[in-house]
Structure 1
Amino acid sequence: MAITAQMVKELREATGAGMMDCKKALTEADGDKDKAVDILREKGLSKAAKKADRIAAEGLVNIEIGPDNALASIVEVNSETDFVAKNEDFKKFVNDVAVMARENDVHNVPELLALQHDEGKSLQDVLNDRIATIGEKLDVRRFERLVTENGVIAGYIHGGGKIGVLVELETTSKDQKVIDLGRDIAMQVAAMNPKYISEADVDQEYLAHEKEVLTQQALNEGKPANIVEKMVVGRLKKELKEVCLLDQVFVKDSELTISKLIANVSKEVNQDIAVKKMVRYEVGEGIEKKEENFAEEVAKQMK
């Protein structure tokens, strides 16, 4: 397969490895980007611990939480430019979408867009009106609605809507300390982006894949085969502490892990607390954005 400059550029941005190393890895992987990332990691050439989706599209993430913290929604609405994402009318539209997603038991975007908006027409028609007015493609990309019968839901928005998180805590306590704990955990999820809540949730395929990569990495470093297995166990354990929420060091207090933080609050309110679910949206993750320079973007807005 022919390796293009764009393929090399994307791999370099995803891993931080050198241009020639990226080209060689892509050639060895026959153009398969994921396989090329693994090759770079095995050779110790990837500066990124794990591959990450490129954040490309503009827009906003918003959350809406009910007054009793038992019902909440999180939505992502995309725009073509950051100018539009900062527009007050666009912000209001995103807020409307979040409220409608919270208040209605719908299960996918088409069902959400079919709902009646306060303007007396479907949300899809309101979206079409905004597209015509703003002159950009807008997209209600995704949403999730959380309902808890035995706990509380808390959330956090970072960067003015670039990242949003909802966390469901299972507990019988409605103490404000529990709500504050939920927000702190949501902030942790926003900052550290854990893949799993605990080691018990870790996908076995993920473990097998990581063990294979770490084993090859250690062998490529010239480590003796008889100690590679022990090294891999240690490295995998360290990696799990990074990808599992409960094992992570709390971003607001390096003396605490998240599990210890939960235990402390649980003791204060005299009730058990467990993280049942976490939902994290980051604007544009996984969407390829066409490259434009700033002057062209400004010129478009002036038309």
Structure 2
Amino acid sequence: MITASLVKELREKTGAGMMDCKKALTECDGNIEKAVDWLREKGIAKAAKKSGRIAAEGLSRAAVEGNTGVIFEVNSETDFVAKNDQFLALLDTIQAALFANKPADMEAALACPCEQGTLEEVITNATATIGEKITLRRFAIAEKADDEFFGAYMHMGGKISVLTVLKGNEDATVAKNMAMQIASMSPIYINRDEIPADVIEHERGVQMNIMKEDPKMAGKPEQMLAKIIEGKISKHFKDQCLMDQEFFLNPDQKVSQFLKENNAEVRSFIRYAVGEGIEKREENFAEEVMSQIKG
């Protein structure tokens, strides 16, 4: 069954019209990823958006101590609570626990000892006193070598956080610029060598199907078509690769050129946007009021 919520999700991913989305889902038996490709192949949608709707509230944080960096996200139900002093103090507690214990996974993180018990108990107590569900959604710990350096940046107080490791010229401005670039342009990979082969093959298949639907391509030599397809694949992944992106402070310059000029190299990066990929529960207050009256 093709539900309204499924159609809505596809519209948000592709920007295509409601009827086109419904048809795509029908043609693809309700499979949303296949429906995205179907719309692209028909020329109705250019591409899926890189991230889902940002819905959940809370804050993320990136911090550095010596050769260790941490980045984590804590979710709350409302933005109001995320600005609460008690919530901010909880972030301090989580940060200290992550640095002190360097847990390997979420289970180990929640078991970290704090002054008030385990980290899980501290979060549970915060949930009880604040009155909203508070969760440590994810975290990562990065270690750097002595000849490497960190770039950390938090946008809007932690709505987006970035932790990146660089090598070469240890310039605080270069490091911050790279972290800001990643925050604003949300790359997925450092360069094209990092893109998995199956991801490239999937995109090649999509582009080949788009070609088949284009009457202008009919009768063109295979070598020419192959070259056009490779060009389209390259263009598709351009904004997903940090090195190929336009530098946000100078659109005439690529990030790779900026780094080369400054004798620096990005070794890794992690970017958290609060709530990405989480579907927020939709509330119909009129229906809620009516149900309470009837009850």
TM beyond 0.5: yes
Partner Cα separation in structure 2 for residue 99 and residue 295 of structure 1: 44
Aligned to 1:196: 189
2:290 corresponds to? none
Equivalent residue for 2:139, pick from 139, 143, 168: 143
Give the superposition deviation at 1:51: 4.9
1:154 is paired with a residue whose SS is: strand
**1:275-294 map, 5 Å:** 275-292=266-283
What is the root-mean-square deviation of aligned Cα atoms in Å?
A: 2.0
More strand by percentage: 2
2: CA distance between counterparts of 1:253 and 1:10? 35
Secondary structure in structure 1 of the residue aligned to 2:114: coil
Q: Could you tell me how far apart the structure 2 residues matched to 1:264 and 1:195 are?
A: 23
Indicate which of 167, 172, 175 corresponds to 1:170. Answer: 167
Determine the C-alpha separation between the residues in 1 that align with 2:48 and 2:29: 22
SS in 2 for 1:195: coil
Please list the CA deviations of residues 125-179 of structure 1 after superposition, one character each: whole Å capped at 9, or x if unmatched.
Answer: 11111110111111101100111113011111112211111110133x5x4x2x3
The 3 A distance-change label for structure 1 pair 255 and 280 is: same
Q: C-alpha displacement at 1:281, in angstroms?
A: 0.8
Change (3 A) 1:97 1:238: same
2:203 aligned with 1:206: no
Task: Tell me how far 1:57 sits from its aligned partner.
Answer: 1.2
Asked if structure 2 preserves the Cα contact closer than 8 Å seen for 1:64 and 1:102, the reply is no
Q: State the AA in 2 paired with 1:281.
A: Y
Rounded to whole Å, the distance in 1 between the matches of 2:127 and 2:95 is 18
* Structure 1 counterpart of 2:36, one-letter code: V
Cα pair 2:60 2:74 within 8 Å, conserved: yes
- Point out where structure 2 has 5 or more consecutive residues left out of the alignment: 288-295
Is 2:83 aligned against 1:86? Answer: yes
Q: Verify: 1:4 aligned to 2:9, yes or no.
A: no
* Counterpart code for 1:155: A
Asked whether the equivalents of residues 56 and 76 of structure 2 are also in contact (C-alpha less than 8 Å), the reply is yes
Q: Distance in 2 between matches of 1:104 and 1:293?
A: 43
CA contact (8 A) 2:160 2:271 kept: yes
Q: CA deviation at 1:48?
A: 4.2
Q: Deviations over 1:198-238 (max 9, x none)?
A: 11111111110111111212222322253432221111122
The separation in 2 between residues aligned to 1:167 and 1:242, in whole angstroms, is 18
Q: Matched residues in 2 for 1:180 and 1:117: separation?
A: 35
Letter in 1 for 2:14: T
Tell me the residue number matched to 1:301. Answer: none
Shift of residue 37, structure 1, vs aligned partner: 0.7
Deviation at 1:280, TM superposition (A): 0.7
Q: Per the alignment, in what secondary structure is the counterpart of residue 113 of structure 2? A: coil
> Contact 2:36 / 2:47 at 8 angstroms: preserved in 1?
no
1:231 paired residue number: 228
Change beyond 3 A, Cα 1:264–1:103: farther
Amino acid at match of 1:208: E
CA-CA distance at 1:294 after TM superposition: 8.6
Give 5+ residue unaligned stretches, structure 1: 267-272, 297-303
Task: For residue 50 of structure 1, report the CA deviation from its aligned partner.
Answer: 4.1
- Match 1:265 to one of 247, 262, 274: 262
CA distance in 1, matches of 2:69, 2:250: 28
Alpha-carbon separation, structure 1, partners of 2:173 and 2:135: 32
TM-score (norm 1): 0.87
1:114-153 matches, within 5 Å, as: 114-118=111-115, 120-149=116-145, 150-153=147-150
Output the CA distance in 2 between the equivalents of 1:83 and 1:294: 19
Please tell me the residue identity of whatever aligns with 2:187.
P
Length, aligned pairs only: 283
Distance in 2 of aligned mates of 1:99 and 1:252: 34
SS at match of 1:255: strand
C-alpha deviation, 1:274, in angstroms: 2.0
Q: Which residue of 2 aligns with 1:274?
A: 265
**Which secondary structure does the structure 1 equivalent of 2:163 belong to?**
strand
Distance 1:28 1:264 in 2: 50
1:221 pairs with one of 194, 214, 225: 214
The AA in structure 2 aligned to 1:114 is: A
